Structure 1
Amino acid sequence: YRANDVILYGTHVENVTLEPRQAAFVDEWNRTYAYPRLQFGGFAEALGTITQQQGELPVVRGDGGPYWEDGLAANARVTARIRENSRRLPSAEKLATLARQLNPRFRVDQSELDGAWERSRLMDEHTWHADCSVRDPESDQARRQGEDKDARASEAQRAIERLLQRCLSAIADVSPAGPGSVLIFNPLSWERTGVMELDIGRGQGLVDVGTGQVIPLEVLRVGRVYQKVRFLALDVPALGYRALRLRPLPTSPRAEPLDDPAVLESPFYRVALDSKRGAIRSLIDRQTGRELVDTNNAYALGQWLYVTGGDELPSRLVQYSTVSPIPALTVHAAELGRLVRSGRTGFGVVALLESETFGGSSIQTEVMLPAQRKEVRLTLRVRKAASLEKEAAYVAFPWALPQPRFRFATQNGWVDPAGDMLPGACLEWFTVQDWVGVEGGSQSVVMAPLDAPLVTFGDIVRGTWPTAFGQRPSTIFSYVMSNYTPEGYAASQGGEFVFRYVLTSSADWSAGEAARFGAEALTPLEANEITRSDKLNATANSGDSGRYSGLRVTPKEVQVVAWKPAEDGRGAIVRLLETAGRNGEAQVAFPGQQLRRAFRCTAVEDDLNPLDLIEGMVRVAVPAYGIVTLRCELSESERP
């Protein structure tokens, strides 16, 4: 190190008031001491000076990895809620823009939208509870701060629900669909098919408006007025909607029994259940012929694991240390299981298993294979008692892939933890965005954890703090619960929890396909029933096909991650993300609308340069894994 200057930072700890004397500290120091001389400055100024003194500086690139993020597992229920909010809030913005495009009289409640964003940002702030939350969890400080923090997630959720329903109602007001219809909105920028759950009137069914075909339903619950049904919504247009019609229909039949109740089959997969462990024993990809599950592993696929130990301090489990002892942990795998039921529904096969684990926790595991999608859907419903003793919980995914290469999604790309981490990064647990995957032996598996963003690779968290990723087994553990964090998060959690996963596989891994799969898994289709109160003057549905797309983007590797009213009121903002890792060009079009002009702009919506319009479309260069922001203005009569 040849430079004369160094950067000194870290004058106080987090979450404390600024000390006024700090402002005068540099002058006081320099009056008192001849060496070293201190100077206030920003990073750009400091690094510029150091570069001049040092000459060429080494460059280190990589991902910093997580650390404090393991606190997310201390409040799994709230984590699941904010994870869902983070996807549905952009959906509300997109739906508001579509509603304005179709219904010029509509104005979104901007204060409610801004409030939902504000509460979501405050919820994501790095600590969730008082500094004494673990040392004194029954104190008023711990209780009040925890309740206030948790409420932000539920308040944002309620605001998002209101925004979505108001926007869907505005679209319904101008849609050709009449009372007795259900509008299904797709917030993603490509046509998609997805599993939906919906309340409809008891004794009713759903019919495709365009074809008149009855939609196969699975009845999940029957009440006195409503029944909850599950179905496959087919081919919902990009950033648009399609309409289904409600009709009095016979109650959907119960699931047909299977030849072997413990074996589920779809055109894409064959699943063998392990009833004793409440999980999956075998999963065969029927397109590649490969067994995906490591059948010699100690755990089954989707098996619940409860971990005890680590209470004796000091311990590396609760605080980073190179000298504290590594704790002795005990893994209690779910057992005493049974197959409750299985059968074939109108759109796939489904099974329900039950199991138990240490401390009396009960687990219900649903396994579903849709007939028209290459995916396996797992849902674990867990009931457990709260405990102040150190604990953690995982869901095991033991894959049978040799020499595995792991990847997981970041905000605009992906990370290989074996090669992309900075020196000193945490290598024991990781936070994923939409998906996590593993590849090996000409086989790839991608998994979308809907509710729990933490994962570990090869083993559970043991407090070893490895300095190199190394070669690990191909098992992925979904790290769903823990109270290891020593402060700032809940000391215990109990009650009912839901953890959902969607899995798929292929011979080859594709960044673009993984990104689309993850986006579909985490971004739900939204629905709204049109009632007679919504459209008093309407008597029946028109002959319209019931399909509409408000915005289309090609190629498919480019996603629309935001479509929102511009902050200054000039048009709409379209934010694009390239997901395949290739430089290219995107085409943006508004079907049925007249695009007047378009600008490339900054992320904070400052115009950079106008873009040429070609045949009513705008074309723009998009770099690999890059984010590009556009301002699009429609004609005066149709401007959003």
Structure 2
Amino acid sequence: MSIRQILLVPHTHHDVGYTNSPRIIDEMHARIVDRVLDLAGAPSAGPDDFRWTFEVARPVIAFMRDAPAERRRLLARLVHDGRISVTGGYLNMTQLPSAFEYAVGYDALGGLREAGLTIRTQQHGDVNGLSWGTVDQMLDAGITRLVMALNPDHGRPPFTQPSGFRWIAPTGRSVFVWLSTHYGFGEEWGIIDGDVPLAMGSIEGFLQRLGARADYPWATALVHAANDNRWPTDRFLDIVRAWNARHPGIPMRTATMDEALDELEGESTGFTLPTVRGEWADWWSHGHGSTAREVAVYREARTFARLARGTLSLARLQGERDVPLAEVLGYRRGPVRLRAADEVQRALAHVDEQLLLYGEHTWGSWETYSKPHSTFSHSSHNAKSAFAYDAFDHARDLAIEGWYRAVHSGAGAAQSERIVVVNTTETDRVELVDVEVDGVRRVCVPAAVPAFSVASFPVPASVEPVDATGPLRAGSYTVLVDPRRGGVVSLRDETTGRELIDPDALGGLGSVVVGVVGAGSSHPMITTSPKMFHPDHPGPQFERRLAVGAGPVRIERGDATTRIRWRTGIPGILSAHAALTIADGVPDIDVDVHVDKSERFVPESVFVVFPFAVTDPRFLLETAGAVFAAESEQLPDTSKDWYSIQHAVGVCGDSGGILWGTRDAPLVQLGGIHTGEWARKLHASHGHVYSWLMNNLHFTNFQARQEVNRTFRYRLRPAVPAPHDVLRYGRDLLEPLQGRHHHHAILQPSSAPLRVEPVGRLLAELAPSDAAGVRVRLHNPEEDAIRASVIPMVAGWIGADVEVSPHGTRDVLVVRVAP
């Protein structure tokens, strides 16, 4: 179809950083709102009116919080009049955030709507993917259209840009997606600078390419007038006037993104749109491995945030009693004072904001890779990292306070000098809990804790390690570690007789592998530009080096736990020591791998190997709010070389299955190491999972160096998992049992203060509510609707019965009964 109109959509691409420090950029975006109001406030005059779209909601949220009433009213009027659009994504996010973090951003839209702003569209720029579960979250937030202005560097779009399609959510609902051109053409084509000759030729060429496409049935062309962090001007209006003077048969006019999507979605009713379902696996997610330490800190922070919400909620429900207060502001000690309810809400909101700022897609400055030693590069990295560390500090402090308040609420038998463990979830849990004792040693306790409850356990005695040779029996497993092959070479489940380890794998379970580009490589990434690490240039080839050791295997046997340790290394690159822990009566196995790696600037990758003996495997991966089957539940041409997951992977196959989870490192490769393949199909004949800790295969805002000194934590269990098992396993890693060594006597509650029915079918997330109640957010991981009951077990509270749709979410507010 020939193009009959051009819609020019002005906006700025929202990077929290990149062109300047995040400390500067974040504040300036809120000031951009004021500038836009000044430019858009003139009376309407025609197709060359100044119109604007706020690509993300965060700057508008900040503006509405602080602006004078008359400026807020002006914004609402201009939105109502169609001169300005506010879109619904909080920021341009990566696939790091979990569903609960995304929910915070979508919940914030309520305040904008109360102020009279209409929000119907989400716009997402630069990033090459988006987590599948967010589609349902968009729809729940009243957003029915998505614009993806992909940056094609380091990846492929699922369809030719531009295109439209419908994306089906896990619930079966769908959003209209406009897969746009890269927004940066607005500057590259001279549009935002008012360069008429350049813009005329560029737009004419664009229309010719659209006209030559048999798969472009739209009569409208959307053109971006944008680039990274551009300060608003009206110079693009010169392009509209010049175009209309020269091309009266194909008029151009300014439009908001809402208006543009109204046109494009409306046209799509006249023909059949492609319809797809599954994960939009992000090719750019390999960047999560550029800052392994900071990503791990961020993931710890959100775990503390979840635990804080849960323990503070349990304390509120149980009725708080005296909490032993400390006299030193120290993280090993208790709180020195208890926060009031409004203080708690402000602190939780601050943590949420920092988590979202870290999960945003801007990882560093535009010279981080090319000038890795510049002060600006280091400052940008420091500012980005500060979001994770800020969230960590405040969330951990809240979690400690919440723990003390929870364990000293309720009534029951008094006990002291114990390991005290809180379960903030709706399900009875049995798992290993690692706890520090008196700041001098760590102990591992197999803890069985009922749902929404507190339990205590004796402090385990110190155990002296001894050398071990040959296979070792621990719990229901027999284990053989060979440091010469890097790790565990045999892991036999004695309950079934099944061998869990592939003997022909690259290395043993828990082994560390480094991939480096071979000397003398002629790949253009090496010889021309690192930007050529790209699907158009398959490769480069990587040499794989296994960290090995010659030292002894050490074993520590306690009353109920066995821990096996070994050391490996690669001279001149890294050293590692690993530990595998098994407890009697606990089906899970914990694996900790500590990597000590010095700074290097050569292209490289670091993996931890989990070579499961599963043939003809099918991989189920946990993304934000959903589980998808790798390959079969993905959008076309999305990443199959690597995936960024939340926490859990299910490996299913003819020879059994495995539930596997990672606490700290989100990147995985499946079946083998695929870096550089740029595969259109997942090649995975083995059930191996490779935890991709770190890499520096970048060209702009990711770190050029790789170094870390940190423990990475994993958990696994023999099982044949269904998708809901993977979702629960991931949730349990995100929100583990919270244990501390406690000297004071506690009044351990005799029963839980809350019950969610039907037991074991729903996931429940607790949070203190503003109304002095407790919000229970229920998530249904199953294919069928569930009639649920949230039942307070403490007098003076009421819950509710609700129906939760398949894969859906419902909130229940548990409140006090009026006296």
Q: Normalising to structure 2: TM-score of the pair?
A: 0.66
- Unaligned segments of structure 1, at least 5 residues: 202-222, 533-539, 597-616
Any residues of structure 2 matched to 1:518-529 within 5 Å, and which?
518-528=730-740
Aligned to 1:56: 272
Aligned to 1:551: 754
Indicate the larger mover: 581-590 or 424-433.
581-590
Cα gap change, 1:555/1:358 in structure 2, threshold over 3 Å: closer, same or farther? farther
1:548-593 Cα offsets, whole Å, 9 max, x none, are 42322123454444322334x2733211111233322222111113
Say yes or no: does 1:271 pair with 2:479. yes
Residue 143 of structure 1 aligns to a residue in which SS? helix
Residue 295 of structure 1 aligns to a residue in which SS? coil
Say yes or no: does 1:295 pair with 2:532. no
Say yes or no: does 1:421 pair with 2:629. no
* Percent identity of paired positions between Structure 1 and Structure 2: 23
Residue 70 of structure 1 aligns to a residue in which SS? helix
Residues in 1 aligned to 2:802 and 2:241: alpha-carbon distance in whole angstroms: 52
Aligned to 1:517: 729
1:512–1:557 CA contact under 8 A, matched in 2: no
Residue 353 of structure 1 aligns to a residue in which SS? strand
Residue 639 of structure 2 aligns to a residue in which SS? coil
Any residues of structure 2 matched to 1:534-573 within 5 Å, and which?
546-567=749-770, 569=771, 571-573=773-775
Cα gap change, 1:18/1:468 in structure 2, threshold over 3 Å: closer, same or farther? farther
Cα gap change, 1:404/1:171 in structure 2, threshold over 3 Å: closer, same or farther? closer
Cα gap change, 1:30/1:170 in structure 2, threshold over 3 Å: closer, same or farther? same
CA displacement at 1:333 relative to structure 2: 0.7
Indicate the larger mover: 380-389 or 579-588.
579-588
Any residues of structure 2 matched to 1:228-243 within 5 Å, and which?
228-234=442-448, 236-243=449-456
Say yes or no: does 1:159 pair with 2:375. no
CA displacement at 1:431 relative to structure 2: 0.9
Any residues of structure 2 matched to 1:188-207 within 5 Å, and which?
188-201=425-438
CA displacement at 1:98 relative to structure 2: 2.1
1:277–1:337 CA contact under 8 A, matched in 2: no
Cα gap change, 1:632/1:32 in structure 2, threshold over 3 Å: closer, same or farther? farther
Matched residue count: 576
Cα gap change, 1:575/1:111 in structure 2, threshold over 3 Å: closer, same or farther? same
Which of 376, 400, 404 is matched with 1:169 structurally? 404
Cα gap change, 1:631/1:21 in structure 2, threshold over 3 Å: closer, same or farther? farther
Specify the code of the residue in structure 2 equivalent to 1:519.
R
Residues in 1 aligned to 2:384 and 2:793: alpha-carbon distance in whole angstroms: 43
Specify the code of the residue in structure 2 equivalent to 1:121.
L
Which of 649, 660, 666 is matched with 1:453 structurally? 666
Specify the code of the residue in structure 1 equivalent to 2:815.
E
Aligned to 2:791: 589
Specify the code of the residue in structure 1 equivalent to 2:769.
A
CA displacement at 1:529 relative to structure 2: 5.5
Any residues of structure 2 matched to 1:103-114 within 5 Å, and which?
103=319, 107=341, 108-114=343-349
Cα gap change, 1:319/1:499 in structure 2, threshold over 3 Å: closer, same or farther? farther
Residues in 1 aligned to 2:262 and 2:805: alpha-carbon distance in whole angstroms: 29
CA displacement at 1:175 relative to structure 2: 4.5
Cα gap change, 1:471/1:113 in structure 2, threshold over 3 Å: closer, same or farther? closer
Aligned to 1:286: 494
2:475–2:582 CA contact under 8 A, matched in 1: no
Indicate the larger mover: 18-27 or 59-68.
18-27
Cα gap change, 1:63/1:102 in structure 2, threshold over 3 Å: closer, same or farther? same
CA displacement at 1:302 relative to structure 2: 1.8
2:305–2:396 CA contact under 8 A, matched in 1: no
Say yes or no: does 1:628 pair with 2:810. yes
1:502-558 Cα offsets, whole Å, 9 max, x none, are 01112x3223333333322332322356666xxxxxxx66xx654442322123454
Any residues of structure 2 matched to 1:196-595 within 5 Å, and which?
196-201=433-438, 226-234=440-448, 236-244=449-457, 251-254=461-464, 261-309=469-517, 314-315=524-525, 319=532, 321-324=534-537, 326-470=539-683, 472-506=685-719, 508-528=720-740, 546-567=749-770, 569=771, 571-595=773-797
Cα gap change, 1:168/1:319 in structure 2, threshold over 3 Å: closer, same or farther? same
CA displacement at 1:267 relative to structure 2: 4.2
1:103–1:170 CA contact under 8 A, matched in 2: no
Cα gap change, 1:27/1:386 in structure 2, threshold over 3 Å: closer, same or farther? same
CA displacement at 1:47 relative to structure 2: 3.2
Cα gap change, 1:572/1:325 in structure 2, threshold over 3 Å: closer, same or farther? closer
Say yes or no: does 1:11 pair with 2:246. no
CA displacement at 1:408 relative to structure 2: 0.6
Specify the code of the residue in structure 2 equivalent to 1:263.
P
Aligned to 2:61: none
Residues in 1 aligned to 2:225 and 2:232: alpha-carbon distance in whole angstroms: 10
Cα gap change, 1:284/1:592 in structure 2, threshold over 3 Å: closer, same or farther? same
Say yes or no: does 1:186 pair with 2:423. yes
Aligned to 2:305: 89
Cα gap change, 1:30/1:405 in structure 2, threshold over 3 Å: closer, same or farther? same
Cα gap change, 1:179/1:350 in structure 2, threshold over 3 Å: closer, same or farther? closer
CA displacement at 1:443 relative to structure 2: 0.4
1:593-627 Cα offsets, whole Å, 9 max, x none, are 3444xxxxxxxxxxxxxxxxxxxx53222222222
CA displacement at 1:152 relative to structure 2: 1.8
CA displacement at 1:109 relative to structure 2: 2.6
Say yes or no: does 1:101 pair with 2:309. no
Larger RCO (alpha carbons 8 Å, 6+ apart):
1
1:274–1:280 CA contact under 8 A, matched in 2: yes
Residue 775 of structure 2 aligns to a residue in which SS? strand
1:280–1:300 CA contact under 8 A, matched in 2: yes
Residues in 2 aligned to 1:358 and 1:38: alpha-carbon distance in whole angstroms: 63
Residue 98 of structure 1 aligns to a residue in which SS? helix
Residue 613 of structure 2 aligns to a residue in which SS? coil
Higher percent of residues as helix: 2
Cα gap change, 1:253/1:85 in structure 2, threshold over 3 Å: closer, same or farther? closer
CA displacement at 1:386 relative to structure 2: 0.5
1:37-80 Cα offsets, whole Å, 9 max, x none, are 3342425402332124x333332223210122211111111111
Residue 765 of structure 2 aligns to a residue in which SS? strand
Cα gap change, 1:490/1:24 in structure 2, threshold over 3 Å: closer, same or farther? same
Say yes or no: does 1:46 pair with 2:263. yes
Residues in 2 aligned to 1:324 and 1:447: alpha-carbon distance in whole angstroms: 33
Q: Normalising to structure 1: TM-score of the pair?
A: 0.83
Aligned to 2:368: 133
CA displacement at 1:122 relative to structure 2: 0.8
CA displacement at 1:138 relative to structure 2: 0.7
Residue 131 of structure 1 aligns to a residue in which SS? coil
Residue 267 of structure 2 aligns to a residue in which SS? helix
1:278–1:337 CA contact under 8 A, matched in 2: no
Indicate the larger mover: 22-31 or 545-554.
22-31
CA displacement at 1:268 relative to structure 2: 2.9
Aligned to 1:33: 247
2:308–2:400 CA contact under 8 A, matched in 1: no
- Unaligned segments of structure 2, at least 5 residues: 1-214, 321-337
Residues in 2 aligned to 1:228 and 1:441: alpha-carbon distance in whole angstroms: 39
Residue 389 of structure 1 aligns to a residue in which SS? coil
Cα gap change, 1:282/1:2 in structure 2, threshold over 3 Å: closer, same or farther? closer
Residues in 1 aligned to 2:774 and 2:274: alpha-carbon distance in whole angstroms: 42
Residues in 2 aligned to 1:182 and 1:227: alpha-carbon distance in whole angstroms: 13
Specify the code of the residue in structure 2 equivalent to 1:550.
P
Residues in 2 aligned to 1:180 and 1:444: alpha-carbon distance in whole angstroms: 40
Q: Aligned Cα RMSD in Å? A: 2.8
Specify the code of the residue in structure 2 equivalent to 1:30.
N
